[in-house]
Amino acid sequence: MNAHDGSAPTPDGITRLRLVSCNIVAGASVGRFSDYVTRTWLPHPGKRANLDALAASIAEFDIVALQESDAGTLRSGFVNQTQYLADAADFPYWSHQPNRRVSRLAQSANGLISRLEPTEVIDHPLPGRIPGRGALLARFGAGRDALCVVISHLSLGPEARMRQLGFIADLLADTPHAVLMGDMNCAADSPELRELYRRTSLRPPTAPPATFPSWRPRRAIDHILASEALEVESLWTLPQAFSDHLPVAASLRLPARLQHGLKRAA
């Protein structure tokens, strides 16, 4: 996990966490399907301004999950977009998990940006017929009182998603305080996510907001799923579209046993 120089994390009895997750499509502002061709796969002058606007919107959160963040290739102007957003929004910690690469043109990554100091960050490749999907796991605290956050971007096909969520279920099977964030490419009540709920402490959201496509949201496929012990006080989407997905956000109330085990940077 990367940290800015001079950060001094201190425990502060954290009672709530604000989380946000967004598939940023390499920083492209997408307002219609034709924009995929003209804006996502090539360098575009509007990407930097779009990232700056996103940085301003995420600055109020504690943990940010990114999907399709470019790892520093041609289409982003060789900018690591996870690091850029962390710097622009003044977050002390960031990490990324580069996945599928297309020569020097593009390499997507899962990204973690945090105001809390993680005790461990692990990259896990996910199973799939075509390699290139991953789960980025961050642990905050220690032992069974740790908070475990997994960030992932799942496949389009239901069979691949079932295998990938089975792998994630194995990671979280004995974790009482877990959060799964990302672009799941499926509804919260899909068979593959119902199997995840059965095998882990994660619970389905009561009213998942629609996130895709951002210009006319009809499908709730981006999720923040939390364990039953982590009370989801609210779940919403950010009003501004920064890509073809609306960012999904959540406020979690933490149980007392977690509140003094987490560290927020000063």
CA atoms within 13 A on the CB side of 144: 5
> How many distinct helices (H) and strands (E) make up the chain?
6, 15
Mean pLDDT is lowest, of 4-8, 27-31, 148-152, for 4-8
Domains in the chain and their CATH numbers?
14-255 (3.60.10.10)
User: In 166-179, which positions are buried (b, 16+ CB within 10 angstroms) versus exposed (e)?
Assistant: ebbbebbeebbbbb
Q: 63 falls in which pLDDT band (50, 70, 90)?
A: very high
Q: 47 falls in which pLDDT band (50, 70, 90)?
A: confident
pLDDT digits (tens, 9 = 90+) for 158-217: 999 999 999 999 999 999 999 999 999 999 999 999 999 999 999 999 999 999 999 999
Q: Are 140 and 262 in contact (CB under 8 A)?
A: yes
On the question of pLDDT at 226 being above 70, the answer is: yes
What is the signed CA dihedral for 219, 186, 176, 66, rounded to 10 degrees?
A: -70
In 3D space, the residue among 50, 75, 79 whose CA is nearest the CA of residue 240 turns out to be 50
On the question of pLDDT at 23 being above 80, the answer is: yes
**Which one of 24-28, 79-83, 129-133, 218-222 scores highest in mean pLDDT?**
218-222
On the question of pLDDT at 39 being above 60, the answer is: no
pLDDT digits (tens, 9 = 90+) for 233-243: 999 999 888 88
Mean pLDDT is lowest, of 52-66, 78-92, 95-109, 131-145, for 95-109
- The structure's pTM equals 0.89
In 3D space, the residue among 90, 96, 8 whose CA is nearest the CA of residue 55 turns out to be 90
In 3D space, the residue among 163, 260, 261, 248 whose CA is nearest the CA of residue 210 turns out to be 248
How high is the pLDDT of residue 175? 96
Question: Which residue is listed with tokens 């402490």?
Answer: 201
Cis peptide upstream of residue 213 (ω within 30 degrees of 0): yes
